[in-house]
Amino acid sequence: MSIEIHKVEKSRIDEVDFDNLVFGHTFSDHMFQMEYRNNKWNPPAIIPFGKIEVYPSLSSLHYGQSIFEGLKAFRSADGSVNIFRLDKHIARMENSCKRMCIPTLDSEMFKEAVTTLVGLDRQWIPQARGSSLYIRPFIFASENYIGVRVSEKYDFYILTGPVSTYFKEGLSPVKLMTSEGYVRAVRGGLGEAKTAANYAASLLPAMEAQRRGFSQVLWLDALEGKYIDEVGTMNIAFFKDDVLITPPLEGTILPGVTRDSVIQIAKKKGIKVEERRISIDEVMESVKDGSMTEIFGTGTAAVISPVGEVYHNGESVTVNNFKTGPIAKMFYDEITGIQYGEKEDTFGWITKIQ
Q: Which is nearer to ligand PLP, 323 or 329 (CB)?
A: 329
The binding track of 48-87 with respect to ligand PLP, each residue x by CB under 6 A or -, is ----------------------x-----------------
Q: Which is nearer to ligand PLP, 152 or 345 (CB)?
A: 345
Give the DSSP letter string of 154-184.
Answer: EEEEEEEEEE--SSTT-SS-EEEEE-SS---
Question: Cα(116)–Cα(122) distance, rounded to whole angstroms?
Answer: 10
Shortest distance, position 257 Cβ to ligand PLP, whole Å: 3
Shortest distance, position 147 Cβ to ligand PLP, whole Å: 29
Displacement of CA 218 from its chain's centroid (Å)? 16
Strand partners, 162: 133
Q: Please work out the total of residues on this chain that contact ligand PLP, with binding judged by CB under 6 A.
A: 15
Q: Which is nearer to ligand PLP, 174 or 257 (CB)?
A: 257
Q: Is 299 in the site for ligand PLP (CB under 6 A)?
A: yes
Shortest distance, position 81 Cβ to ligand PLP, whole Å: 19
Q: Is 251 in the site for ligand PLP (CB under 6 A)?
A: no
The binding track of 22-51 with respect to ligand PLP, each residue x by CB under 6 A or -, is ------------------------------
Give the DSSP letter string of 122-146.
Answer: GGGS--STT-EEEEEEEEEE--B--
Max Cα separation, the chain?
Answer: 63
Q: Is 235 in the site for ligand PLP (CB under 6 A)?
A: yes
Q: Which is nearer to ligand PLP, 245 or 254 (CB)?
A: 254
- Residue 116 phi/psi, 5-degree rounding, is -65, -45
Q: Which is nearer to ligand PLP, 263 or 292 (CB)?
A: 263
Buried/exposed 265-300: b ≥16 CB within 10 Å, e otherwise: bbeeeebebeeeebebebbbebbeeeebbbbbbbbb
Q: Are 308 and 322 in contact (CB under 8 A)?
A: yes
Binding site for ligand PLP (CB under 6 A): 70, 194, 198, 230, 233-235, 254, 256-259, 298-300
